[in-house]
Structure 1
Amino acid sequence: MLRGTLVDQLITKVGDTFTMQMHRLGDDYLMINHVVEFEPGRRISWQPAPGDTSRAKGNEPANVGIPAGYSWGYTLTPEDGNTTVVTETFDFSALPEDLRRTLRDGGAWIHGSNSVLQSMNDSLELLERISVRQEH
């Protein structure tokens, strides 16, 4: 579950990074997110990477900051003057088959103890705070 950001910084382009403070299953940890798609006000996708050794492959410091091979994202599609459709995307097609099975084809997140809608809301609030600075 998203807890906040380590540093609020402006996202302006593909290649930028932002760090999220997370909490899951009694564990606090950091995720460094590498922006892979960005269209202001319309789309953002990122590849998460462990931000500390507790989440790094093999608990190795050398693996901190290396993307895990999947991406999360949101697309905002205006439907009418008062409605925007928000689509969350989780793409793990590049992961090995055995890991995709372990993640139950994304069901590990969808049916987890955290509400997907709450997670989406938290993420969108965070991204709005980061991108609002761009407008000023």
Structure 2
Amino acid sequence: MSLWDWTLKAYGQAGVPGACLTLQDDHGQNTSLLLWAVWAEAVDPALLARAADIAHRWEALALIPIRAVRRALKPAFEGVDDGEREALREDVKAVELRAERVLMESLEALTGERGGASALAALEAASAAWGQPAPADALAALAAALG
């Protein structure tokens, strides 16, 4: 199963979207990198470093600016029709999702054989490769939600 298909299935599981948002918004993690690491069962430091480098650069170039625009469009804006503003926000949301897919496809291309790591071990390794590791309980919550 491709990483993207696996991710869409994972997001349908109870607790996964919330755990991902907590890791992203409260702990500065890149959820695409985290999910890729679980899918790839990755703990190899060299592979994780390459993946984290791609994710950092793509996040700075595409994800952060797109996400900022989407969030800025959420509240009403005086002088602009709410329906038009919300329609534009949905368009930006689709672009953000496409940017996340591009990143995930790039990470998937790095993957050779799966590493055999548990979900929690892969999340811990990817979080550490990203930089400031997320709290253990936040990573454990995502690992548990992923099953």
Give the TM interval when normalised to the shorter protein: 0.3 to 0.5
Q: Which has the higher helix share?
A: 2
Q: TM (normalized to structure 2)?
A: 0.33
Name the TM-score, length of structure 1 as normaliser: 0.34
- Select the structure that is richer in strand: 1
